[in-house]
Structures are given as C-alpha cells and as structure tokens.
C-alpha cells in the first residue's frame, strides 16, 4: 500500500491543473494582502484579517482541486477497476485514498502558509503573538475542514460511482456548509441544546477558539473531531462500495 500511496501522490503533484489552481489561490491571497495595505503600510492586524478572509475563497478552489485529484481521477480514467483487478482490496484502496488526501491537503496548505509568511515579511506586516496565532490556527482549521468535507464526499463517490454528483456535494459543503448549518440552528431544539457546536465545522471553530484562549491542548480536540468524521466516512464508504459491481 505504501507504493500505491507514493505513486498516487507523485501523480497528483505532477498534474498541471493542480498547480494552476493552487497558483490562483496564492494570487487571491496576494490580492487581499495588497488591498489591505493602507497609507501607513501593512499592519499585522490588517494582514491577519485579510488572510482570514482570503482563505475562505481559497477553500472552495483548492478543496475541489484536491478532491478531484485524489478521488475522482480514478473513476474518470477507469484505473480504479484496474487496481482492484490486480488484487488490491477495496479496503486498502479506500485507506490509501484517504492517506493521499491527508498528504495532498497538508502539502497544499503548507505551501499556502509558507507563501503568506514570506509575503507578510516582505511587505512589512509585523504580527504580534495573538495575530500570528489567529492566522495560523485559521489555516489549520480550514485545512481540517477541507479534509473532512472531502472524506464525507467520498461516500457519495464510492456509492454512486458518479464523479459529478460527488464533486457537487464537496463544492456545496465547502461553499454553503456553514449556511446550511445556520439554517438548522434556527430550529428551537437545535438552538436550545447547542447541537451545532458538535457538528463538524462548528466543532472545529469552537476548538479553534479554545486553542487561542487556552493554548496547545485544544489541538487534540480538533484532531478528535477530524478523526471522528473521517473514520465514520471511511467505514460508511467501504460498506457501500464493497457491494458495488464495477465494469471492467
């Protein structure tokens, strides 16, 4: 399985489309940085705030690019059937795909983090500890959100074998997941019991606040929320996928 993971990550990182989308996201980040620069220069607060806004737009672009590169290509190219036909079990294939998604997600956000750090230094944005903590915890939270939504959308893909449906679900979650949750929160029972705090994206946001207020121990809460949603998604996807017949 190690060779399968390595080969797949290598394939993804060689795709021009992946780098084009990532480049667009970095340009969006740069645009927001330039826009937030005032006559007195770029303050650390303005820089951190602008990047917090930019990353919401970046999530949609890079999230879909990661999802399509990791999951959808296997179905559109029919290589999924070839891998299974060569004796790779469906369980190993699902786990390998998830590991690929983790690697590619954190490579993408690692590049983004490095880019904005260098950009901030070159443009003279001097962030204090609080501003730096806010910015980097926001990036980490959004990386986890992209990873979680991609894994949830994997259920649709391996159940329906329809790339368009699964990609649409991933895009919807990235674009309107919080809006949908906000609508559900209008229901009195959900609002009264604060159920939304236990739903994936809001749970991560609450954990991020705890991380900023109390320090590093809240990172384990974030990891727990991500591990929980990913484990459930992988199990459900496997149970649905193992009963599916594939055309060779």
pLDDT along the chain (248 residues), means of 10: 79 87 88 76 78 80 86 70 68 86 92 90 82 86 89 86 83 73 57 56 78 78 87 88 61
Map tokens 């490579």 to a residue: 107
Residues 13, 196: Cα–Cα separation, whole Å: 36
Residues 135, 129: Cα–Cα separation, whole Å: 10
Establish if 248 belongs to a structural domain.
no
Give the pLDDT score at 213.
Answer: 79
Establish if 192 belongs to a structural domain.
yes
Give the pLDDT score at 225.
Answer: 84
Look up residue 101 and give its two tokens.
Answer: 């998604």
Give the pLDDT score at 210.
Answer: 79
User: What's this model's pTM, rounded to 2 decimal places?
Assistant: 0.84
DSSP of 40-81, one letter per residue?
Answer: TB--HHHHHHHHHHHHHHHHHHHHHHHHIIIIIHHHHTTHHH
Residues 230, 238: Cα–Cα separation, whole Å: 12
Establish if 109 belongs to a structural domain.
yes
Residue 99 contacts residue 7 (beta carbons within 8 Å): no
Establish if 246 belongs to a structural domain.
no
Give the pLDDT score at 14.
Answer: 87
DSSP label at residue 199? S
Establish if 193 belongs to a structural domain.
yes
The total number of structural domains that make up the chain: 1
Give the pLDDT score at 104.
Answer: 92
Establish if 113 belongs to a structural domain.
yes
Give the pLDDT score at 55.
Answer: 83
Q: Using alpha carbons, select from 224, 46, 72 the residue that is nearest to residue 161.
A: 72
Establish if 213 belongs to a structural domain.
yes
Domain of 192 in residue numbering reads as: 2-241
Give the pLDDT score at 248.
Answer: 43
Map tokens 């009963």 to a residue: 243
Establish if 120 belongs to a structural domain.
yes
């Amino acid at each position: 399985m190690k060779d399968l993971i390595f080969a797949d990550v290598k394939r993804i990182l060689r795709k021009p489309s992946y780098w084009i989308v990532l480049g667009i996201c970095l340009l969006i980040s740069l645009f927001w940085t330039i826009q937030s620069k005032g006559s007195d220069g770029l303050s650390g607060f303005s820089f951190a705030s602008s990047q917090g806004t930019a990353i919401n737009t970046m999530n949609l672009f890079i999230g879909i690019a990661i999802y399509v590169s990791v999951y959808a290509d296997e179905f559109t190219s029919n290589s999924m059937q070839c891998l299974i036909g060569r004796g790779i079990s469906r369980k190993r294939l699902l786990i390998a795909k998830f590991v690929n998604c983790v690697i590619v997600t954190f490579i993408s956000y690692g590049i983004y983090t490095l880019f904005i750090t260098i950009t901030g230094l070159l443009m003279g944005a001097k962030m204090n500890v609080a501003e730096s903590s806010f910015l980097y915890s926001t990036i980490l939270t959004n990386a986890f959100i992209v990873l979680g939504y991609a894994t949830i959308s994997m259920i649709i893909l391996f159940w329906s074998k329809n790339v368009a449906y699964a990609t649409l679900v991933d895009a919807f979650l990235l674009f309107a997941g919080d809006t949908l949750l906000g609508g559900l929160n209008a229901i009195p029972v959900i609002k009264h019991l604060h159920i939304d705090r236990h739903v994936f994206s809001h749970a991560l946001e609450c954990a991020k606040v705890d991380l900023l207020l109390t320090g590093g121990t809240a990172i384990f809460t974030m990891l727990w929320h991500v591990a929980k949603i990913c484990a459930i998604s992988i199990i459900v996807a496997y149970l649905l996928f193992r009963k599916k017949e594939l055309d060779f």
